[in-house]
Structure 1
Amino acid sequence: MTFLTDLDDLIRYRHGDVKKLREIRDTVRHDNFITTDNKNYVESLITMYLKNKPFAKPLPRQQSDTKIELQPKPATSSSDSKSNVAFSFLSNKKLGVLAGVAAAIAIIVIVGFTAINQTGTTDSAVSVTITEPLLVNVDQATYQRADIISISGNSKSASTQSVELSIENTDGVKIWKENINPKKDGQFSTLVIAGGGGWENDGVYILKVTHSDLASEIKFKFFT
């Protein structure tokens, strides 16, 4: 009888720890390997319950069979080790490839982002370059009677002349006018109260500004 046959008999007749014996059997069948402790444990059960000779002292033929079944483990271990090394190498290679791809993607994204930023910067610079030489703004889009309209603007003109501001109502009639001296940086601002003569109609009113040979305008709504 072989070692595995005796092991099967121990399990069948439930001699010893059946769960442990099954684990030992599975290990032997799968890896063709058994630890010294497990081997001694199984041999003691074989001697006790099956009255068989210890596994360490079998008949010559049994010894030959036992060696064929249980001792090829070093070769298998070497093969497994090579497989593990190969698997580890392939895994590392795959990880390296993936890392390379990720790095390439990151570089593309960074380059693209940089290009976008550069484009944005260029556009911004161009925008600044082509900014209107004369700008005027109001603080709201809609006003009612007695509201204060805050007017501000900027002139790129080098002229020392004053900036002329005016408001036209819905009929195109100029209902307000003021001249302002811009600051050294071209900034100018003033306040005007919505209401009075010419402010009788609801609708769109136009704020116009001129400075030397420059002109600009902006529209806002007025309700009585």
Structure 2
Amino acid sequence: MNDPLLDDVKALLDKDFGDDRILKQICRACENNEVISNYERNYVRKLAEKHLGKKPEIIPTPSAEEKKVVPDVVIPQITPIQKTQTLQRKPVKISSNSKNTKIMVGIGAAALAIIIAVGVSFNGVSDGISKIDNPNNSVPVSLSIQTDLSSYSKKDLISISGTSNTSGVVNLSIVNQNNKLVWTEQVSLKNNGKYSTLAIAGGSGWESSGTYTIKVDNGVEIKSSTFSFTA
């Protein structure tokens, strides 16, 4: 059985239609059962329709497959079931034993009396301490003065601190071994009655080594302390 494509190629070559080179190549491929591309087949088909009166080849298109209708998935609506739990308190049964009740009431009263007595005694003790030791809970009960060291050399810093049971200021002073004033300063008291300041060991009156005396005066009393100084 002859190949229609080969017949068309030979007819086109006989009537000298188309490109001889391409047609001869297609003819040789048909005779040797070689693969012929779609491009070559379409080329021959168009020439045959144009010059040989071939009717256009109607290639039946395969009917489109019916689309498979996938039914919509209907998700059932789940109505949450709310369970309301009613918590019922069971009434506490009170024993009707009057004897036990009286015993418990008596023990509770005794315990309460002991607690009250202990609280009153502690209050009394604390009040006594606060009244005797610290009436204002913030102001010390005496006047004091001290230095951070017991001996100093020239140009050392002397740290001075102390307490006073007064308010306002205190007057500080240092005298040398000849009772000559070599330093003085007025220092304000803090809310808790404490004071502190610094002095430099040196200057006029500090020429000689010896025992120096530091004093504090709060207007009511005077306290003093001593330290050694090396010039």
Name the TM-score, length of structure 1 as normaliser. Answer: 0.38
Which has the higher Rg, Structure 1 or Structure 2? 2
Higher helix fraction (1 or 2): 1
